Every structure is written in C-alpha cells, then in structure tokens.
Amino acid sequence: MSVVAEEVARSPETEPDALAGFTIGVTATRRREEFCALLERRGARVVSAPAIRLVPLAEDAGLLAATRDTLAAPVDEVVITTGVGFRGWMAAAEGWGLSVQLAEHLTRARLLTRGPKARGAVRAAGLNDHWTPPTESCEEVKQYLLTQDLRGRRIVVQLHGEPLSGFVADLRGAGAEVIEVPVYRWLPYRDVSPLRRLITQAVSGGVDAVAFTSAPAVLAMLNEARAEGCEEALLAAFGGSVVAACVGSVTAGPLLSRGVPVIQPERSRLGSLARLLARYLPVESVTRLVAGGHDLEIRGHAVVVDGELKPLPPAPMAVLKRLADKPGHVIARSELRTVLPGGPSRDSAEHAVEMAITRLRRALGPAGIVETVVKRGYRLACEREGMM
C-alpha cells in the first residue's frame, strides 16, 4: 500500500452509505458499470469519464510476428500479465491456425502468472501455471526471475497495454533473450469531453477522489491535462484535497513517479478498491465539529447535521468549508467572496455572499449554527475546543 494507514485499511466498513456526500471520478472503461455500481451502492455520487479504449491486435502483424518468434525455438519461461491478454493471444492464434502448436509449445515452458485472473486464464486453456507472486506485481515476477541464472534463457513476456521497458531491459541485462508479445494496446477514448470535465472538477475541488483501474488510464488523464495546460494543477490537486485511488501498484506507478500520494487496496480488485474508498474518505476527508449545539460532519458535497445528510449546492458548501477552516472565528464578507464559484464581480459580491449564507442556513435546518457578526462577517457558533 502507499498512503493508507493500517487502521484505515483494515477497519470495518461501518455504514452501507459510507460514501454518501462524496463525489468520485471513475476513469475505467472495462467493467465501468460494475465499478460505478459498487460506489453508488455505498452512497457515492459518481462522475464517469472513460479515459481509454482497448484496441485488440488480433489482426496485427506485430502480434503474429511475436507468436512465430515464440514458436521458433523452445521457451523457458512465459510471463502472463493479464487474463484478458492471454485469452486474446490464444484466440488470435486460433484465427491463424496456430493455437494447437502454441499450446503445445507453452506446455514445455514455466508459466509465471501475475495474478489470479491470469492464472485462471492459463488453467482454462488447459495449461499448468508454475508460480504467481503474492503481491500480484510485475516487479515481484522480475525479482523472482533475476534470482536465477538467465543467461541464454528464452523468456516470453505478454504485455498488458503498454511497454514494460524496465522489466524487459533488466531481464535482457541478465543475459536472457526476451520476446515481447503485444496482445492489446490502449488508445485515448474517442470522446474526451467527459475526461476534460473530470480534470476541471478535480482541479477545482469538485470531486473528492478519482479512482483509477489501469496505468494507461492514469497516463491518458495526465496527457489530456497537459494538452489542456493544467497538468501541474491536476497533480497539485492530487497532492492536496483530491484523493488518487489506484487498484494496484502497476496502476499507481505513473502517479508515484510524479510524487503524487495514492491509496491502494492490499488486493488488486475492484471490490477491494470500492471498500477502501468507503473506509478512507469518511475518516480522512471529513471535517467534524460542533456548532450551535449540533454535530456537523462536512463531506464533499453534503453536510451531515445530527446524523441527517443534507446535500449543499457549490456556493453554500464553499462558504461552509471556509467558515469551518477557522471554527468560531469571524470570516469577513470580502474573504468569503473569494471562495464563491464563478468569482462574482465586486458590485455583486456582497449580495452573492448574503445569498450563499441564506441558502446555507436554509439547508442546515437548525438555527444558530451560522452566526452574523454585525459589520464584520460570519462565524460558526463554536470554539476551537468544540472540534471533535
């Protein structure tokens, strides 16, 4: 794991609506509906923005050439990184009339599977797997191989959407002949407008977390942000209030290499990622305080007042969060004006602040939570000691 405290990662998920009040961006393409449903069942508001699309290479000359290279001589090890990739390779070989020959060839090699899905695909093909790393990471597969004498050994590596340059280079540096099998590749999603909107929301704090299920999706989002001139702002958001949640270490790699903190589950599963978000956000992304004698829990787009969830529009929420930065302290109207979405003009600023305060009080319900200090501004009716 990267940034998840042990007590958060292992704590039970206490409420079925643990994500109520939070907005989570989802960049997945494959199994997108399933993952969004896992989050929505826990109360989250989901922003779906597919970042990539899968392009099969069954007709690609590069895959055919790699397959023939594999068959040209005995193979010692085959590294299988994904179940869908291995199945695609076998399906393509069947289309070329090479599936029987390829399967027989692989029976004489040691098959190293990165995780349970890859292992399941191997067994479904009637083949025997040799070893799967406990961490389900390519790094552990590489270290496993590097503990052996690789000089003169032929190793096939099934790629999973992007080059494994360091992995392959280290094996070749140890004396192995490495055959790269590009079973499929990723391209940017055809309609990038949802991804652009998600980038804007992340930069502005309109989402509480962005969930990534593949490294290519991370790269696609960063590349689009760079094209829009806001990559640094996006990285800063991930380093601040927006949580970057990754399904596993491979997915987290591009963000970690840029110094971005991430959270990731111990097991690389969509269900595990959804459960982790449901445990992490209510602990790490919530402000709790007592104001006017009422318990407040400030979440991404809602506030829980005495246990009752109350969604808030952007302007009242922005004002509430600013007041909560210094509970009990008076915040001037001029300062509250700066946090309002859209940046109202100076002439309309005072009216906009008053309207936001009015809407905030109406949404909160009980009177006395937000106080007016005449000619000075507004405050939450609490002292610092009231912080929970």
Contact present, 76 and 153 (Cβ < 8 Å): yes
DSSP 48-97: E---EEEEE-TT-HHHHHHHHHHHTS--SEEEE--HHHHHHHHHHHHHTT
Give the length of the chain. 388
The span from the CA of 310 to the CA of 371, in Å, is: 19
Taking 3-state DSSP, the helix, strand and coil percentages for the chain, each rounded to the nearest 5, stand at 45, 20, 35
Q: Please state which of the ranges 1-10, 17-26, 37-46, 254-263 shows the lowest mean pLDDT.
A: 1-10
Across 274-282, average pLDDT: 95
pLDDT at site 350: 75
Q: Tell me the pLDDT tens digit for each residue of 97-132.
A: 999 999 999 999 999 999 999 999 999 999 999 999
Mean pLDDT, residues 153-158 taken together:
97
The CA dihedral of 114, 118, 119, 120, to the nearest 10 degrees, is 160
**Whole-number Å distance between alpha carbons of 118 and 129:** 9
Question: Looking at per-residue confidence, does 388 or 35 come out higher?
Answer: 35
pLDDT of residue 345: 52
- What domains lie within the chain, and their CATH numbers? 6-51+189-284 (3.40.50.10090), 55-186 (3.40.50.10090), 287-386 (1.10.10.10)
Neighbour-count burial for 364-387, b at 16+ CB within 10 Å, e otherwise: beeeebbbeeeeebbbbbbeeebe
Say what the pLDDT of residue 10 is.
46
Q: What is the pLDDT of residue 6?
A: 38
pLDDT in tens, 173-219: 999 999 999 887 778 899 999 999 999 999 988 899 999 998 889 99
CB 157 within 8 Å of CB 178: yes
pTM assigned to the model: 0.74
Q: Report the alpha-carbon distance of residue 199 to residue 193 in Å, rounded.
A: 10
The pLDDT-based confidence of 250 (bands split at 50, 70, 90) is confident
- pLDDT band of 222, cuts 50, 70, 90: very high
What is the rounded distance in angstroms from the CA atom of residue 265 to the CA atom of residue 117?
17
Tokens of 266: 């111990």
Q: In 184-272, which ranges are E strands? A: 184-188, 209-212, 243-246
pLDDT of 348 over the 50 cut: yes
Q: Is the pLDDT at 8 greater than 70, yes or no?
A: no
* Paired sense of beta strands 294-298 and 287-291, if any: antiparallel
Please tell me the predicted confidence (pLDDT) of residue 61: 80
pLDDT recorded at residue 5 = 39
What is the per-residue pLDDT for 344? 52
Residue type, 106: L
Checking if the pLDDT of 69 tops 60, the result is: yes
Mean pLDDT within 146-169: 91
Distance between CA atoms of residues 268 and 279, nearest Å: 16
What residues have CB less than 8 Å from 191, skipping those under 6 apart? none
| Residue 387 pLDDT | 43
Pairing of strands 52-56, 184-188: antiparallel
Instruction: Give me the chain's average pLDDT, please.
Output: 89
What average pLDDT does the segment 290-297 reach? 92
Does residue 13 carry a pLDDT above 60?
no
For range 264-278, the mean pLDDT? 92
Listed in order, strand segments (DSSP E) in 152-284 are 154-158, 177-181, 184-188, 209-212, 243-246
Q: What is the mean pLDDT of residues 17-43?
A: 92
